[in-house]
Chains A and B, each alone.
Chain A
Amino acid sequence: MGKRVGIIGVGQTHHAAKRLDASGTELIAEAVSRALDDAQLTIKDIDAIVVGNMDHFENINYVDMWAVDGLGACMKPVFKVTTGGTTGTTVGACGYYHVASGLFDVVMAVGWEKNSESDTQAAISTCANPTLERDPFAGAIGPLATEYSMYMKAFGATEEDAAMVAARDRNNALRNPYAHSRQEVTVEDVLNSPMLSYPIKFLDMCPRSDGSCAVIFACEEKAKKLCPRPAWVHASVVRHDYTHFGDLEWKFMPTLERASAAAYKLAGITNPLKEFDVAELYLPASTCGVKWMDSLWFCEHGGAPALIRKGTFEMDGELPINPSGGVISTNPIGATALIRIGEGAWQIMGRAGERQVEGAKKALCTGFGGCSWSDVMILGADLP
């Protein structure tokens, strides 16, 4: 078991489809400066930095080298990690591991992406095996569409269930000043938006954004000294699978089931729907906001549509999901999952502004990437 670790500061950029005013390094500097301000620290207080993005989105290798001025990493230990869509939670997990190991006291995790610099779909297709699956099955939308088709057939979920999730997240984004896409939409708007790949429509799907996020992790002693209400890390779990797309279990999400089960065990969670006060989940499409609820053990397999229809995950429901507007409102890919951790931490710290869930004491944060990887981090107001 590692040492206790708390999050003491979070910063993020104002995300947008294209931030013409800022280079990648300037986006990083914006997030890092804001995280330092949030924690009331200077760069001298940071012992090590973890940074991540997906190189093929910008065609620039070695962000850990050329963005050193924006990172404040000069003459500090800096580590770059990249794991596809989960990059943000991976840099978060690495920040946590650094401090939990006892070798570093204060570590900053930084995720960023400047998706406007390239063709996101073409770049993302390079994740698929080039000699087997890239031609017939690559791209971000198709695999998510096929998994929800299967879920609809198996359990009677509908396109409207997904549209309710899309409307929820998009309307939540109206209260988040950092969100990229802030538009009021109805369930009908979502159902009437252009079909991308059945059953996923335009308003069901995440955008691509320019943005960055930084999260500062501190050891117990420093966190207590530096922060009035740290967000303590209760669990951080990563699960990867995939040999080929055809080998995946499409009806459920095995990596999310296994990662969340392991994280709940570490954090002593037995009834996640009751015990969590808020969740910031990496849901790349609204359809995942239906199907993956089963895999987070909120219900039996196939039980998610009933929970969605009851409003369980709305801001005034039993467990508000994505008060920030989530991934379908903001998606700077290498930062996306770290924003989940940052938003979850702000909820615990009481710093979530208009999107604050009053008195939030326990937050569930997830990352999704590759196909189909899952990261889970549980944050709490109480010491773990």
Chain B
Amino acid sequence: MSDWKNDVEIMVHEGKISVPYSWTVGSTLSRFYCELRDNGKIWANRCPKCGTTFVPPKIKCINCYEEPHDWVELPGTGTVETYTVVRYEEPSMHPRKAPFVYGVIKMDGADTGMVHFIDEVAPEDVKVGMRVEAVLEDEREGNILDIKHFRPIG
């Protein structure tokens, strides 16, 4: 290393640009969120060609690129396909404090899984294959957290 590098004061610059973002939800997901907010219903959409039913709804069928324009109301129940217990804190990312459970719930009436929290059950009692139902917030704003979490049925 050159001699001058031993003596130089190393600088670090702080960024000043802070960009505010907003995301257009789009026609397909807006319909999903409006049904959830206004009527407390979970809707899926189905491909008219191959019959695959998507929840959350898709813009195009991933199998055939058809517009899945058949809309179907789901009962809000499902089965836990897989899950984990989160035990670390990440306040900027997680809307709830650890420990909590999230996983993939295969919704009745749909062919796809939905990711969400599983609660009202001790983490050690959550099981794959467990039957669950959606619990909605009382005050809903039209986003994915209008579904508070899923809880065991019965």
Interface residues of A (CB under 8 A from B): 18-26, 29, 33, 36, 42-43, 56, 58-60, 68-70, 72, 74, 114, 116-119, 122-123, 125-126, 130-131, 134-135, 210
Contact = CB atoms under 8 A, between A and B. Distances in A.
A292 B62 CA distance: 44
A70 B24 contact: no
Interface of B: 11, 13, 15-29, 58-65
Contacts of B24: 18-20, 22-24, 114, 116-117, 210
A117 B22 contact: yes
A42 B23 contact: no
Contact of A23 (B23, B63, B64): B23
A108 to B, nearest CB: 12
A35 B29 CA distance: 24
Contacts of A19: 24
A19 B27 CA distance: 10
A134 B19 CA distance: 15
Contacts of B28: 23, 26
B93 to A, nearest CB: 15
Contacts, number: 75
Given A20-B24, A22-B24, A58-B23, 20 more contacts: A21-B26, A22-B26, A23-B23, A23-B26, A24-B23, A24-B24, A24-B26, A26-B28, A26-B59, A29-B59, A43-B65, A56-B19, A69-B59, A69-B62, A116-B24, A117-B21, A118-B20, A118-B21, A118-B22, A130-B13
Given A22-B26, A117-B24, A130-B13, A122 B19 contact: yes
Contacts of A21: 26-27
Contact of A119 (B19, B61, B65): B19
Contact of A125 (B17, B25, B61, B63): B17
Contacts of A130: 13, 15
Contacts of B65: 33, 36, 42-43, 72
A79 to B, nearest CB: 18
Contacts of B58: 69
Nearest to B61: A69
Q: Which 5 A-B pairs have the closest CB atoms?
A: A23-B26, A43-B65, A74-B62, A59-B21, A72-B65
A367 to B, nearest CB: 24
Contacts of B11: 131
B26 A25 contact: yes
B21 A58 contact: yes
B20 A119 contact: yes
Contacts of B18: 122
A74 B19 contact: no
Contacts of A59: 19, 21
B89 to A, nearest CB: 23
A135 to B, nearest CB: 8
Contact of A117 (B15, B23, B60, B64): B23
Contacts of A74: 62-63
From A42, A116, A117, A131, residue with most partner B Cβ within 10 Å: A117
B60 A70 contact: yes
Nearest to A26: B26
A29 B67 CA distance: 10
A122 to B, nearest CB: 5
A127 to B, nearest CB: 11
A69 B29 CA distance: 13
Nearest to A30: B59
A279 B17 CA distance: 37
Given A42-B65, A117-B24, A70 B59 contact: yes
Contacts of B23: 23-24, 58, 60, 117
